[in-house]
Chains A and B, each alone.
Chain A
Amino acid sequence: MDDFKNLEEISKKIRRNILIMLNKSGSGHSGGSLSIVDILVSLYFGGIMNYNAKNPNWEDRDRLVLSKGHACPALYATLAEAGYFDKELLWTLRKLGSPLQGHPDSKKLPGIEASTGSLGNGIAQAVGIALAAKVLKKKYKVFCIVGDGEMQEGLVYEALMAAGHYKLSNLIIIVDNNGLQIDGQVSDVMNVYPLKEKFEAFNFRVHEISGHVYNNIIDTLTTAKRNVISPTAVIARTVKGMGVSFMANRVEYHGVAPTDEELKKALEELK
């Protein structure tokens, strides 16, 4: 339990940094960044991913592809916390010349495995990275976070088909199932549910969990890493805007940054 207490502290720090960076940049995606923080903290600080922040290109490292690239403030804050780069860089988000681009750019920032943002392309690249491990006889795992709204992109299903076909047991897809997208509720805009059955139809092993309960996330991802038969999908039920009361489950905060006033209130809540 002490460990989880520690993870909770880290997640608060990351959430605070996300809100500060978004406020400083004046634009960016608040809601979807906050919803994946506990997943990222589990991956990077919960003993799930093997990585070396001082040697980001270490060839045996586990990879994380953030297919829902618009949530990159959460990844940037996590990578900074993990020691990939100086935290001061966080405050340059979206500014001219910054390696912290509006959507992740693998050429500009250490720790970014793939350039993503145009939805559906990240998950398909993750399939390629997982398939490459088979050619190169590497044991690394590939984690990929997709949005539930992203599941509307047809390319996602091409990627799932290939992952199932090639039995990519080193691939673990995590769905950030916060139920909201820019134009409203995912089920209203274009219903993607049921998700579980869709993954199963492509020969994935599927777990449904809460995306904010550490022992749940860590146990499931540990199990997923042991799967040698099939790719794994973890459908993580999350709350968009998690951690900030007035942003939680509010679609209005999908693509906007907090104002100075909102930042003050939010930081108070995340003390």
Chain B
Amino acid sequence: MEKKATREAYGKALVDIGKNELVVALDADLSGSTKSADFKKVYPNRFFNMGIAESNMVDVAAGMALSGLKPYASSFAVFVTGRAFEPIRQSICYPNLHVVLCGSHSGISVGEDGGSHQAIVDISLMRSLPNMKVIVPADYKETYAAVKASLDMEGPVYIRTSRAKSPVFTNSDNFELGKAQILKEGQDATIIACGMMSYLALEAAELLKKDNINLEVINSASVKPLDEDTVYNSAKKTGRVFTVEEHSIIDGLGSAVCEFLSEHHPVFVHKIGMEDVFGESGTKDDLFCKFGFTKEAVAQRIKDKLNG
């Protein structure tokens, strides 16, 4: 299967929506990594390098949105959501401005840079802000579709991309906010995942077939707003839910699912993610092994919980 990094799709989509002359891109000295440099090559006059100053970049994007432009501001997920949290809150979310933020190099799959650079609370930070939409696409194709769709969304949007290459497996030509896809139907339990964990969830489900466990797998790239109907119907059908995300189990996708289900259809939910710990240096594969993000580890955990 073809493998491509979701950040590559950000660059490509940005160039394509750049046909709209109101689109501007901003970066904080990481344009080669986030891929906003692709936009710079084609539209140098509408690209603004703001230097290593993420807070100012976000406020400048807000000012541009106030002036009628459509700003896309990118940096590593850890910086754009962490360092610039206050401008995001005050200047973008509070006045509900249409600014699209892209956090690349998310999760622990950024690898060797280590725990200081691994964004594992960015979904949590962005999800907590009123008006903010949070999108964690599963693959290159879905990222491309989401970035394109973001041009016509309202208010602030956070799109999370990854450094590492991952399988391109979705058929997401059109991205719809608040819509999840059922990747595989099943009746014994549901796995809800986002980002590159969606493919991992599919692989884990495949493994569990051997144990006669038939899982339903849902890709929920739209973490906020959550596709409540799909989550509700699946939870009702299977009665047991697992969530998998390359993020802390506190306040990420799993929490969003729990918040919804606890009120509307309380069932057993088990969250798989970073368990309130920071990552460390290592290759992506070594880190995924250590922190339990392999198909075998996920399958085993699900099996244990279902049998326990």
Contacts and interface: CB of A to CB of B under 8 A. Distances in A.
Given A128-B64, A136-B69, A115 B59 contact: no
A241 B45 CA distance: 45
A39 B92 CA distance: 28
B67 interface: yes
A98 interface: no
Interface residues of A, number: 31
Contact of B66 (A125, A155, A165): A125
B18 to A, nearest CB: 12
Given A121-B91, A125-B60, A132 B69 contact: yes
A115 B91 contact: yes
Nearest to B28: A158
B50 interface: yes
B59 A155 contact: yes
B66 A106 contact: yes
A71 interface: no
Interface in A128-167: 128-133, 135-136, 155, 158-159, 161-162, 165-166
A161 B60 CA distance: 12
B121 interface: no
Query: From DSSP, what is the main secondary structure of chain A's interface residues?
Result: helix
Given A106-B95, A155-B55, A162-B56, 18 more contacts: A107-B96, A113-B66, A124-B55, A125-B62, A125-B66, A127-B60, A129-B64, A129-B66, A130-B63, A131-B60, A132-B68, A135-B24, A135-B45, A135-B46, A155-B59, A155-B87, A162-B51, A165-B51
Contact of A124 (B24, B59, B68, B96): B59
A71 to B, nearest CB: 17
A162 B60 contact: yes
A116 B123 CA distance: 25
Given A158-B53, A162-B50, A128 B63 contact: yes
B48 A131 contact: yes
Nearest to B56: A158
Given A135-B46, A161-B51, A162-B56, A118 B95 contact: no
A162 to B, nearest CB: 6
12 contacts: A107-B96, A121-B87, A124-B56, A128-B60, A128-B61, A128-B63, A128-B71, A131-B60, A155-B87, A158-B53, A158-B56, A166-B48
Interface string B50-86: 1101011001111111111101000000000000001
A171 to B, nearest CB: 10
Nearest to A154: B55
B174 interface: no
A20 to B, nearest CB: 28
Contacts of B91: 114-115, 121, 124-125
B90 interface: yes
Given A114-B91, A135-B46, A128 B53 contact: no
B94 interface: yes
Return the 6 tightest CB-CB contacts between A and B, nearest first.
A128-B63, A124-B59, A132-B67, A158-B56, A128-B60, A158-B53
A131 B63 contact: yes
Contacts of A106: 66, 95
A107 B95 contact: yes
Interface of B: 24, 45-46, 48, 50-51, 53, 55-56, 59-69, 71, 86-87, 89-91, 94-96
A121 B84 CA distance: 11
A124 to B, nearest CB: 3
A81 interface: no
A120 B90 CA distance: 11
A126 interface: yes
Given A121-B59, A128-B63, A135-B24, A161 B69 contact: no
Contacts of A131: 48, 60, 63-64
Contacts of B45: 135
A165 B63 CA distance: 17
A117 interface: yes
B60 A124 contact: yes
Contacts of A161: 51, 53, 56
Contact of B68 (A127, A136, A159): A136
A105 interface: yes
Nearest to B45: A135
A262 B133 CA distance: 48
A183 interface: no
Given A105-B95, A114-B91, A135-B24, A125 B63 contact: yes
B20 to A, nearest CB: 12
A127 B95 contact: no
A203 B301 CA distance: 59
A133 B46 CA distance: 12
A139 B238 CA distance: 61
A148 B53 CA distance: 22
A250 to B, nearest CB: 29
A120 B67 CA distance: 19
B67 A136 contact: yes
A212 B237 CA distance: 72
A118 to B, nearest CB: 4
Contacts of B67: 128-129, 132-133, 136
A132 B63 CA distance: 8
